[in-house]
Structure 1
Amino acid sequence: MKPAEGSTVIGKSVTIRGELTGSEDLFMDGQIEGTITLTTSRLTIGPNARVNADINVHDVIIFGRVDGNIKATGSIDLRQTAVVTGDVLANRLAIEESAVIKGRVELNPTGASAPQSS
């Protein structure tokens, strides 16, 4: 799997603990524990990645394992090898055959208003 051109790459031998923030596309193939915030960018979680973090991004493509809640203002794309344990909130969600998701899924397409509680 090759990272998208122009993406910052975090290799499979890298481990990060803490808060990761930025404003550019990121390809993550290592391990991270904490939070990931890329509200205007795309995050790609590679096949070797092990993420134990809450994620807040514009778009995310997942090939690896994520334990944590995911919020995407754009789309979430779970590829065949993806395993996600946590709640998912997005405008769009694509799940390939064999991908696994364990948690609550909430879709809020662009332009639709969120349900209001009384």
Structure 2
Amino acid sequence: MIEANVHRTLIGKSLIIKGEVTGMEAMHIEGRVEGSIALPGQTITVGRTGQTEAQLTANEIVVLGQVRGNCQASDHLDIRSEGSMSGDAIVSRISIADGAFVKGKIDVRRS
């Protein structure tokens, strides 16, 4: 169930962002982000058309598109069947669906 008052930023298909993104709300990426994204306590979703060449740091990271760079998820990294990730990950929990592409080191740490 999605709460009505949850704030979520959408990076549209035609947008390209270069640099450092920080904040305290969830983000859904359908465009391209290069640099770093730090959203402590929030969720980063890389949509089907989304591409990142960035360091991702969040509570939860969901990958349906393409991630190139390291990921740090304090709770959960979820790589769906159409998603791909090239980079190292530090997580508490991880889900990798059949058909997903993953290249890199995965470090699962218990809290």
1: CA distance, partners of 2:23 / 2:30 = 17
How far apart, CA to CA, are the structure 2 residues paired with 1:42 and 1:23? 10
SS of structure 1 residue aligned to 2:14:
coil
* Residues 73-92 of structure 1: pairs in structure 2 closer than 5 A: 73-92=74-93
CA drift of 1:40 comes to: 1.3
Match of 1:43 in 2: 44
For 1:76-99, what per-residue CA distance to the aligned partner results, in whole angstroms no more than 9, with x for missing partners? 000011110000110000011100
Amino acid at match of 1:96: A
Partner of 1:98: 99
Q: Partner residue of 1:57?
A: 58
Aligned to 2:70: 69
Aligned length: 107
Instruction: Name the amino acid aligned to 1:97.
Output: D
Q: Which runs of 5+ in 1 are unaligned?
A: 111-118
CA RMSD of aligned residues (A): 1.3
Answer with 1 or 2: which has the greater Rg.
Answer: 1
Gaps of 5+ in 2: none
- 2:15 is matched with which residue? 14
Per residue, is there more strand in 1 or in 2?
2
TM-score by length of 1: 0.87
Residue identity over aligned pairs, in percent, reads: 31
Contact 2:28 2:45 in 1 (8 A): yes
**Structure-2-length-normalised TM-score:** 0.92
Following superposition, which runs of at least 4 residues in structure 1 exceed 6 angstroms of deviation?
none
> C-alpha offsets along residues 37-65 of structure 1, whole Å, 9 cap, x if unaligned?
00110011000011000111110100000
Give the aligned partner of residue 114 of structure 1: none
